[in-house]
Amino acid sequence: MFHVKQKFYDVIILGGGHAGVEAAAAASKIGAKTALITFSRKDLGAMSCNPAMGGLGKGHLIREIDALGGIIGQASDMSGIQFRMLNRTKGEAVQGPRAQIDRNKYKKAVSGLLKTLTIFEDEIEEIHLEKNIRKVRSVKLKEFGNLNCQSLIVTTGTFLNGLIHCGQKSWSAGRLGAKATTKLAKFFIKEKFVTRRLKTGTPPRLLGSSIDFKKCIEQKGDSHPVPFSFLTEELRLKQKACFITKTNETTHKIIRSNIYKSPMYNGKIKSKGPRYCPSIEDKVQRFKDRISHQIFLEPETEAGDIIYPNGISTAMPSNVQKKFIRSINGLEEAQILKDGYAIEYDTIDSKELKNTYETKKIEGLYLAGQINGSTGYEEAAGQGLLAGINAANKVLGKKSFVLGRSDAYLGVLTSDLMKGGLVEPYRMFTSRAEYRLTLRADNADYRLTDKAINLGLACKDRSRKWIKKKKALAAGTKLLRQNYATPNKIKAAGLDINQDGKKRSAYEVLGYNNSNWQLIISIWPQLKKVNISEKEKEQIRITAFYEKYVERQMGEIEELKKESGLKFKSNFNAKDCAGLSNEVKEILLKNSPKTLGEASLLPGMTPSAASLLLKHTKK
């Protein structure tokens, strides 16, 4: 594709990682004139770490991004080589779709989905502001020179002042084989952004043919793989197996006796890594009584030539890595293709952000992805999408788009990040969502696709499919609600229910624990003829099952909204508000919120500060 490179853009995106590509896709779909600048086209959709998408919380995020018209879901479906629904035996609310991804095919898929996007293979070295106002004016590219823009979305990922560590060695890099972003870092220092250094790590990669898989336990994908995207009809790639092996006491001994060589333990790395994704050094040192740790051997490609050993991220020197790897069952002959390493990088404290991902300090400057202290492709993609929507909407004079904690995991992500002060990389978990039973992966379209249509993010195919599905669900639900039976009759069909003489609707009965459509039809044969697909039927069943809980949560949300609507007295002055930290007082004074809701959305507000304020609305 050839694009005439112009000098003026509505929205420019710095970085072609997972945040960058979603931001670019969203902004251009909404109608902003968009350009994406990244070191190399090969960056598009590059997965720096493990070859997998989704999981618990993360799978929810992918479904939501997809429901809002994002690309991560479709790209994953096009490149997935093993799909598994996690927690399949548990309730749908905590089931998370996950897939092993062929790295190269993922990049191809992303590039394909961004065919029409203007892309510069270049490095942004400087950001320039308007003369007298603190607003973004242009960026300076190393090769191409200046580009003007109204909004700039910065998604540097792990690149900002990135520093790789492997044993005693350390060198400047954005990730293995890519140079770090150093010039840009000066901008954030000059503008006095609060920065924080975080750390993450990755395991060595192994040559597939050098592993004895016979010694490992095979783990197959689902027999009926479920795609991420609501648009995907069919998964095309051959499904591959993963294998499980584990470390042993010899492995641990090797690690322990070399522990002083690990930069995390000899004082070279001081920054915090994610607690939930510890290096093998950490695992061995911190859980001394464990005699082994599980390792998943995951294929990085459909061909299976490269294997990612999930669970042994390390920054040990090369020779120690080789030694401990070869002590593991099945890996005795393993060849290391690339060493594992740790990387330290700069993040910007996310309390610098408004809930639109725009910085408070500089108009038109947005930050998204790992630069905000998060970790993970899905978390980055979600922020990219939201920043892209807001940057474009602002340029086009449209309303900002903010999701709340009760709307989506994307809302939870936003509101958690906006609290600022992250001390370790932020990863999504279902436990972070208080409305977990409402925010399910299965109903992401129900929650968000109408919004996508209004925002102009849903393609024709998506709108058509969703509207059809919505109609089918409504019709099916209505029919179920119109049919009643006595408890006697229901019990006769095999459901043990309270014989209180109260008639139940088919919808109610479908929502009972252990209920299903077959049972419903045995009670109400007339429902056999309902004209909806099996998938839609299952969706109605899940909705019916959680309905009682969702209703209760809705009540709670309503109450919260009511509280959010509480107004501060006209003479309310944050300064007089005892118990608030000076920082929160300052935030309140600067923004002078009218209601408690507005106040609690302000970045930097803590829940305890919000509950103190609640008192003051009541005075």
Ligand X SMILES: Cc1cc2nc3c(=O)[nH]c(=O)nc-3n(C[C@H](O)[C@H](O)[C@H](O)COP(=O)(O)OP(=O)(O)OC[C@H]3O[C@@H](n4cnc5c(N)ncnc54)[C@H](O)[C@@H]3O)c2cc1C
Q: Are strands 205-207 and 195-202 parallel, antiparallel or unpaired?
A: unpaired
> Least Å distance between CB 352 and ligand X?
16
Q: Are strands 118-121 and 34-38 parallel, antiparallel or unpaired?
A: parallel
Contact pick of 430, 443, 477, 600 for another protein (by CB under 8 A): 430
Q: What H or E segment, with its residue span, contains residue 192?
A: none
15 lies in the site for ligand X, by CB under 6 A: yes
> Least Å distance between CB 293 and ligand X?
15
3-state DSSP of 240-268: CCEEEEECCHHHHHHHHHCHHHCCCCCCC
Contact pick of 129, 207, 497, 614 for another protein (by CB under 8 A): 614
513 lies in the site for another protein, by CB under 8 A: yes
CB closer to ligand X, 43 vs 536: 43
16 lies in the site for ligand X, by CB under 6 A: yes
Q: Which two tokens stand for residue 416?
A: 């958690």
Task: Give the one entry of ligand X, another protein, none that residue 94 binds, where binding means its C-beta sits below a cut-off of 5 to 8 angstroms depending on kind.
Answer: another protein
Contact pick of 5, 41, 42, 90 for another protein (by CB under 8 A): 90
> Least Å distance between CB 59 and another protein?
12
DSSP helix/strand/coil, 94 = helix
375 lies in the site for ligand X, by CB under 6 A: yes
- How far apart (Å, rounded) are the C-alpha atoms in residues 162 and 178? 10
Task: Give the one entry of ligand X, another protein, none that residue 277 binds, where binding means its C-beta sits below a cut-off of 5 to 8 angstroms depending on kind.
Answer: ligand X
CB closer to another protein, 455 vs 599: 599
Site track 93-122 with another protein (rule: CB under 8 A), x = hit: xx----------------------------
> Least Å distance between CB 599 and another protein?
15
Maximum Cα–Cα distance for the chain, whole Å?
79
CA torsion sign for 39, 273, 415, 90 is positive
Contact pick of 121, 128, 549, 554 for another protein (by CB under 8 A): 549
Alpha helices in 85-132 (DSSP H): 103-113
CA-to-CA dists, residue 155 to 30, 366, 488, angstroms:
19, 9, 61
On whether the CB atoms of residues 44 and 16 are closer than 8 A, the answer is: yes
Q: Which two tokens stand for residue 403?
A: 């999701």
The residues facing 217 across adjacent strands are: 244
> Can you tell me which residue has the tokens 């911190």?
286
Cα R_g (the chain), whole angstroms: 26
202 lies in the site for ligand X, by CB under 6 A: yes
**Helix %, strand %, coil % for the chain, to 5?**
40, 20, 40
Site track 584-613 with another protein (rule: CB under 8 A), x = hit: ---------------------------xx-
434 lies in the site for another protein, by CB under 8 A: yes
Q: Which two tokens stand for residue 382?
A: 């979600």
End-to-end alpha carbon distance in the chain = 64
- How far apart (Å, rounded) are the C-alpha atoms in residues 200 and 48? 11
Q: How many residues bind another protein (CB under 8 A)?
A: 30
Site track 377-396 with ligand X (rule: CB under 6 A), x = hit: x--x----------------
> Can you tell me which residue has the tokens 């040192």?
285
CB closer to another protein, 56 vs 523: 56
Task: Give the one entry of another protein, ligand X, none that residue 170 binds, where binding means its C-beta sits below a cut-off of 5 to 8 angstroms depending on kind.
Answer: none
- How far apart (Å, rounded) are the C-alpha atoms in residues 17 and 580? 39
343 lies in the site for ligand X, by CB under 6 A: yes
- How far apart (Å, rounded) are the C-alpha atoms in residues 26 and 522? 47
Segment near another protein (CB under 8 A); pick from 66-74, 396-404, 425-433, 467-475: 425-433
- How far apart (Å, rounded) are the C-alpha atoms in residues 97 and 235? 14
CA-to-CA dists, residue 260 to 166, 252, 254, 257, 269, angstroms:
13, 14, 12, 8, 12
347 lies in the site for ligand X, by CB under 6 A: no
> Least Å distance between CB 512 and another protein?
12
Q: Which two tokens stand for residue 452?
A: 């996508």
DSSP state of 65: H
Q: Which two tokens stand for residue 218?
A: 């095979």
> Least Å distance between CB 619 and another protein?
4
Contact pick of 31, 33, 86, 503 for another protein (by CB under 8 A): 86
Segment near ligand X (CB under 6 A); pick from 34-42, 88-96, 568-576, 601-609: 34-42
Contact pick of 25, 27, 28, 43 for ligand X (by CB under 6 A): 43
Segment near ligand X (CB under 6 A); pick from 12-20, 241-249, 258-266, 448-456: 12-20
Residue 319: how many other CB atoms lie within 10 Å: 12
> Least Å distance between CB 71 and ligand X?
13
> Least Å distance between CB 242 and ligand X?
16
156 lies in the site for ligand X, by CB under 6 A: yes
Instruction: Restricting to residues 459-518, name those near ligand X by CB under 6 A.
Output: none
Site track 171-200 with ligand X (rule: CB under 6 A), x = hit: ---xx-----x--x---------------x
> Least Å distance between CB 67 and ligand X?
20
> Least Å distance between CB 96 and another protein?
9
CA 484 to chain centre: 42
Q: Are strands 294-299 and 306-310 parallel, antiparallel or unpaired?
A: antiparallel
Kindly list the residues in this chain that would bind another protein in the complex (CB under 8 A). 56-57, 86-87, 90-91, 93-94, 293-294, 429-431, 434, 436-437, 513, 549, 552, 571, 576, 578-579, 611-612, 614-616, 618-619
Kindly list the residues in this chain that would bind ligand X in the complex (CB under 6 A). 14-20, 37-39, 43, 48-49, 123-124, 155-159, 174-175, 181, 184, 200-202, 277, 343, 369-370, 375-377, 380
